[in-house]
Structure 1
Amino acid sequence: MDFHERDSLYMIFLEIIKLHYHRTHLLLDKVGVYPGQPPMLYALHRKNGQSQRELAEKLKIKPATITVMLSRMEKAGLVERKQDPDDQRISRVYLTDQGQEVWREVSEVVKIINNDCFNNFTSEEQILLRRLLMQVRDNLNKVCDEK
């Protein structure tokens, strides 16, 4: 099948990406969070007080982008930055109480999106799809790392 055909893997994958993006935006707008912020909230929820460098590496985002993202989140009252007491060159990032509350709301949004996407899949189908998508991810990571 030609990849330009509507039901080719490429076109289906592209359509899924667009639909997921639209649904995510719609739900996150209600919470007042930008689509790039949930991974940051998750990373800080898992381990509060990470350095900006650690967050950039973990989220695979450029340090300059992390700085802009954190500034926006700081203005919204979701995070705060504090100098590391042992090394003043390091800025550590912490979720505020409001950030913790927003994280709980974002977690609910993720559950809704997950259900929207996979509610009519059997457990076996979900396991297979997960394995296949991980393989796609690994393929893309491999070619991206070759640059």
Structure 2
Amino acid sequence: MENKDVDSLGFLLAEIIRLHHARTFNLFAQLGLYRGQPPILFVLWKEDGKTQKEIADELRLKPSTITVTLKRMEKAGLLERRSDPQDLRITRVYLTEKGYNLQKEVEKALKTFEDDCFKGFTLEEKVLLRRFFIQIRDNLIRANGGEC
């Protein structure tokens, strides 16, 4: 690969995404969390007792995609599945006390991550970068025909 390619905006964006995943993976691994688990926790911290389909819909995933992650989280004692009292055909996902107690630690890890990313940036630079990210996201959504 020529040096010119390594300095391209596309390459830099891909490198940032790769490093983003690596850093968040390391921070969450220190808490005993695996890839895919924090987004599910965020959904349930916001509203506990959702169905697997509701969780998947909110995360823009197929319910089958999160099945293994939910099983792993249940085995780790972070959540439990219970039948809906009004409709026994429906299973709802609830956080356990252990799952609730992780919220402060996850928020602390995210603060560390954000500090790592934006060290040395002024407020104005962060605002401008956010605007650029929104524009890139919106451009890609339009390029994909409005789908994410």
**When the two structures are superposed, what TM-score results if normalisation uses the length of structure 1?**
0.90
1:3-18 map, 5 Å: 5-18=5-18
Aligned-partner Cα distance in 2 for 1:67–1:145: 27
Work out the percentage of aligned pairs sharing the same amino acid. Answer: 49
Deviations 1:67-119 (A, max 9, x none): 21111100000011111111222211111110012222111111111110012
**Map of 1:41 onto structure 2:** 41
Aligned-partner Cα distance in 2 for 1:121–1:79: 38
Aligned-partner Cα distance in 2 for 1:137–1:91: 34
Aligned-partner Cα distance in 2 for 1:140–1:48: 32
1:58-137 map, 5 Å: 58-137=58-137
Aligned-partner Cα distance in 1 for 2:72–2:146: 30
Task: In structure 2, give the amino acid aligned to 1:50.
Answer: K
Q: Secondary structure at the match of 2:93?
A: strand
Task: In structure 2, give the amino acid aligned to 1:108.
Answer: K
Task: In structure 1, give the amino acid aligned to 2:67.
Answer: T
Aligned-partner Cα distance in 2 for 1:52–1:101: 21
Aligned-partner Cα distance in 1 for 2:71–2:136: 33
- State the aligned residue count: 145
Runs (4+) off by over 3 Å? 144-147
Q: Secondary structure at the match of 2:124?
A: helix
**When the two structures are superposed, what TM-score results if normalisation uses the length of structure 2?**
0.89
Q: Secondary structure at the match of 2:39?
A: helix
Residue segments in structure 1 that go unaligned for 5+ positions in a row: none
Give 1:25 deviation, angstroms.
Answer: 1.6
Give 1:7 deviation, angstroms.
Answer: 1.1
Give 1:139 deviation, angstroms.
Answer: 2.5
Aligned-partner Cα distance in 2 for 1:144–1:75: 39
Alpha carbons 1:50, 1:94 under 8 Å: kept: yes
2:51 is the counterpart of 1:51: yes
Task: In structure 2, give the amino acid aligned to 1:13.
Answer: L
